[in-house]
Structure 1
Amino acid sequence: MITRGYVSHRRTYGDRFGGVLELSERACSTDIRWLCRFYFIYLSFFIVRRVVLLLENEQNSSSTMNIEEEIQSSIRSLELDDAEDDNVGIAVEVVKKEELASVDKREEGKTEEMKVKEELVELNETPENKKRHLNVVFIGHVDAGKSTTGGQILFLSGQVDGRTIQKYEKEAKDKSRESWYMAYIMDTNEEERVKGKTVEVGRAHFETENTRFTILDAPGHKSYVPNMISGASQADVGVLVISARKGEFETGYERGGQTREHVLLAKTLGVSKLLVVVNKMDDPTVGWLKERYDEIESKMVPFLKSSGYNVKKDVQFLPMSGLIGTNIKTRVDRSVCPWWDGPCLFEVLDTIEIPLRDPKGPFRMPILDKFKDMGTVVMGKIESGSVREGDSLLVMPNKVQVKVLSVHCDENKVRGAGPGENVRIKLSGIEEEDILSGFVLSSVEKPVGVVSEFDTQLQILELLDNAIFTAGYKAVLHIHSVVEECEIVKLLQQIDPKTKKPMKKRVLFVKNGAIVVCRVQVNNLICIEKFSEFPQLGRFTLRTEGKTVAVGKVTGLLPSGTTGA
């Protein structure tokens, strides 16, 4: 209606000026008549331009057709009846074509400019175009200095300012824990600061010149091993923190200490690269003595080998002081430690190879946590595939289809993220209370496996009270973010530890150190995969009464109703 009104208004002016032109032609000389015709051409050009601008502002998809009709209508409204006025029509037609060409060029230029800008934004926000990313879990015995080291890393990398450090120093002094102020950067809740022990997995981010890192500060106390498992299951690299202080290393290393269990769990959970940092080298009982460093290394190497690590290829040792920051960002001064000529912590972390990842595989993200924030938000580490805004995914095992509204990585909103990234994803189509820890965000085309029974190959570590492992044995299963009670329903085969081949004899029970193929049943449906296809969703531990008794990998997923088959 706006267009028609505008045209009608324009026709009134056309009629008026047409009359004026007719009177002028009768009364004036030839020169005046040509001047009037020039004025008419100028008026026609003005009308055409006004029509084009109006239609451009309205963003009419059929703009070219409408412009043609409006111009022809305007020309007809002038009602020129002189033969010489054909020249005027030709002139107007030329003006019309030039104006249309100009409009097309402007529109084309705008479209191309928008495309270029969108491509640049998309390119800049593509995870593959960023720095490489590694998840680093800090593990080790309680009081080895994991949180202090993590806090020092954040301070040295500029993530925490000096004023905040002064605040933590005062707070720690008020609690009579002067040496713990750096740990307060990672241990953020009051319970952890009062107890002086990490309870939950601390999470923080920092960058070096080549790499973005996510720090996972795992608790060291034996009461919080399940939380440590949750942290290690997200990691690409492990930093085993060992205290060089007299007595502290021995306590963590002896049977029952968390140094041993953490190493074993890290290897089981897929942490293939391990950096062993001998901390507290500045302690008065140590004084940067090479003999103490060598003693610790000589004891750890055989144990690391027995845990499955290739020490020459996948393990590296270095001395350090987490409290004062020595040999973390820059190499230790020769005047302090004359015998060490190796790299500092940052240098080693920057050279660690990124594990193989599949950005084009089926999407898999175990859900670690969820919360409400103008919608449902889930947190986790992407183990396979990639995700972008607008994607449709499945929340398993509920089989609820959801849509991705936004993706956040390292506190920044991004268009998408790939494997290895720790992300927060806002979803529509599901409520926060309908999601549990251990659920998996999965691709629609190839969803994650959902079972209550599966076959597995288990390595028995140390059964409590020299018990036997047989059908009916119950334990707690830890697999990615799943924690579920389980029962061994059938022993299928025993594996010869030397030949790695199945033994012919029928197996009824096994003891410590045995390798056995068995069938496991859980109370509820869980999301898992074969280890051969998705390692991070196919490796697990069995724990009972606060102790890890077995580690294993999933070899087969079973449909319901196959128990005893």
Structure 2
Amino acid sequence: MVSSSEPVAKEVNKRHLNVVFIGHVDAGKSSIAGQILYLSGQVDERTIQKCQKDAKANGRESWFMAYIMDVNEEERAKGITVEVAQADFETETTRFTILDAPGHKSYVPNMISGTSQADIGVLVISARKGEFESGFQGGGQTCEHIQLAKTLGISKLLVVVNKMDDKTVNWSKKRYDEIESEMVPFLKFSGYNVKKDIQFLPISGLRGTNMKTRMDKKVCPWWDGQCLFEALDVIDVPPRDLNGPFRMPIFDKYKDMGAVVMGEVESGSVHEGDNLLVMPNKVKVKVVAIFFNEEKVKDKVNSAGLGENLRIRIIGIEEEDIRPGFVLCSIEKPIPVVNEFVAQMKILGLVDNTLLAAGYNANLHIHSVLENCEIMELFTQKIDPKTGKPVDPMKKKVVFVKIGDVVMCRIKVTNMICIEKFSDFQQLGRFSLRSNDKTIAIGKVTDIHA
């Protein structure tokens, strides 16, 4: 990439990864993210002192690190993250964009939006007595977040067992092992290869222990593994197609000397001056400025590629004519636009233990799209368990399916949406269905010519 300023030109030689922090409410995600920014020098002592003062005024003195990420008054008053907060830091080899996702069940759509922009995930588990159990066993969000992360393309997870310094834990190896032993079977059930895809490590997000530097043996004599920064620095993610057609799902937009769209580059690259399409409304636009983060001179670049979270100023379209879920893409090979598609779907849970049949309505989440949808048809098809592909072209209609079933189906959405077949483009072909604040199914698009 060629930068318009010297500081950015130095930074972009490093690899870039988007890391989303997920997990049950109160697990400590925002505090960990704030601590990372402090330890990496992105936040100074003056900011920390102000956060401490503000937290004390709200009667939440121990939450001051979370205030670095949770900046709006609603979040501070409630003590929970609502929107996906974003920040940047870097290590010796990698530039990271932090995405701090909400953990409360009421804000799962926002969690999905943040996770869809990420390359890797940090699943935060609270070791405090009762908190792990309420998040994992008591209908909390730990399980749903794991399944959604897998569906949304998070192939690698760091599972950080937080609050190990709490008086109910006191760096107990027994408690750490108990949590790991309960988590492993569910991670396997959700599709993760625990040996290759998962890494556990203990930390204290509030104190910063085992985060930037390795654990002091005097604090925790039984741990001899990596610290969080080390684990993030060496984590490996599957390569993407550098030469693919440009694709950037839009998750937000605003007006500022033209329309500014925000999103992560999922394929190809973009250059200042490029002519592109906004889909599904097929409007030709021109790129007039590209920013890595906020619209500041130091963040302005001439081009950007895979995995970058960008703000792109475009002309040729009004801001009010753009919606989250639209896709900025190449003119030569635009993204397909459909209102029906065929999918393979796994049923995770149903509202009030009902059955799922044709005519079922739900909310569809696919990349940054959120649309109402209806299951138009259900049918079975023999699937090769080794390849995951159909081995028998014959389809047999079924009346209903239940929890645990894998089924083929035809889905219709209210408005035209931009999607890809999973076999062609995994990031834009995964989806989840939700109803009544509950994830009921996950799936992949198998055919866009329904």
Question: How far is the alpha carbon of 1:121 from its aligned partner?
Answer: 7.0
Look up the match of 1:422: 309
Look up the match of 1:435: 322
- C-alpha deviations, 1:442-484, integer Å up to 9, x for none? 1000000100000110011111222222211111000011100
CA distance in 2, matches of 1:157, 1:264: 31
Runs of 4+ in 1 over 4 A off after TM superposition: 118-129, 494-505
Q: Please say which of residues 438-447 and 366-375 is displaced more in the overlay.
A: 366-375
Query: Which has the greater radius of gyration?
Result: 1
Gap change, CA 1:266 and 1:289, over 3 Å in 2: same
Look up the match of 2:400: 509
CA distance in 1, matches of 2:13, 2:166: 40
Matched, 1:523 2:414: yes
244, 258, 266: which is aligned to 2:127?
A: 244
The answer as to whether partners of 1:478 and 1:484 remain within 8 angstroms in 2 is yes
Question: How far is the alpha carbon of 1:257 from its aligned partner?
Answer: 1.1
163, 175, 184: which is aligned to 2:46?
A: 163
The answer as to whether partners of 1:123 and 1:129 remain within 8 angstroms in 2 is no
CA distance in 2, matches of 1:121, 1:378: 20
Task: Give the total of aligned pairs.
Answer: 442
431, 436, 440: which is aligned to 1:545?
A: 436
Gap change, CA 1:311 and 1:119, over 3 Å in 2: closer
Point out the structure with the larger helix share: 1
Q: TM-score, normalised by structure 2?
A: 0.95
Look up the match of 1:467: 354
The answer as to whether partners of 1:379 and 1:425 remain within 8 angstroms in 2 is yes
CA distance in 1, matches of 2:258, 2:271: 17
Gap change, CA 1:177 and 1:471, over 3 Å in 2: same
Identify which of structures 1 and 2 has the higher relative contact order when contacts are C-alpha pairs closer than 8 Å and 6+ apart.
Answer: 2
**Percent identical residues:** 69
Q: Please say which of residues 528-537 and 122-131 is displaced more in the overlay.
A: 122-131
- Structure 1 gaps, min length 5: 1-117
Question: How far is the alpha carbon of 1:142 from its aligned partner?
Answer: 0.4
Gap change, CA 1:129 and 1:175, over 3 Å in 2: closer
Look up the match of 2:101: 218
Question: How far is the alpha carbon of 1:506 from its aligned partner?
Answer: 3.8
Question: How far is the alpha carbon of 1:380 from its aligned partner?
Answer: 0.2
Amino acid at match of 1:287: N
Q: Please say which of residues 458-467 and 119-128 is displaced more in the overlay.
A: 119-128
Which residues of 2 match residues 143-292 of structure 1 at below 5 A?
143-292=26-175
Amino acid at match of 1:528: I
Gap change, CA 1:473 and 1:278, over 3 Å in 2: same
Amino acid at match of 1:434: D
Matched, 1:133 2:16: yes
Look up the match of 2:424: 533
The answer as to whether partners of 1:496 and 1:515 remain within 8 angstroms in 2 is no
Question: How far is the alpha carbon of 1:496 from its aligned partner?
Answer: 6.2
Look up the match of 1:446: 333
Amino acid at match of 1:327: N
- C-alpha deviations, 1:36-73, integer Å up to 9, x for none? xxxxxxxxxxxxxxxxxxxxxxxxxxxxxxxxxxxxxx
Give the secondary-structure state (helix, strand or coil) at the position aligned to 2:20.
strand
The answer as to whether partners of 2:159 and 2:200 remain within 8 angstroms in 1 is yes
- Structure 2 gaps, min length 5: none
The answer as to whether partners of 1:530 and 1:538 remain within 8 angstroms in 2 is yes
CA distance in 2, matches of 1:334, 1:419: 40
Gap change, CA 1:455 and 1:289, over 3 Å in 2: same
Which residues of 2 match residues 53-132 of structure 1 at below 5 A?
130-132=13-15
Gap change, CA 1:119 and 1:133, over 3 Å in 2: closer
- C-alpha deviations, 1:480-515, integer Å up to 9, x for none? 111000001111324569686568754222111111
Amino acid at match of 1:201: V
Point out the structure with the larger strand share: 2
Question: How far is the alpha carbon of 1:521 from its aligned partner?
Answer: 0.3
Amino acid at match of 1:326: T
- C-alpha deviations, 1:195-231, integer Å up to 9, x for none? 0000001100000011000000010000001100001
Question: How far is the alpha carbon of 1:125 from its aligned partner?
Answer: 6.8
Look up the match of 2:223: 340
Q: TM-score, normalised by structure 1?
A: 0.76
CA distance in 2, matches of 1:319, 1:391: 46
CA distance in 2, matches of 1:517, 1:506: 9
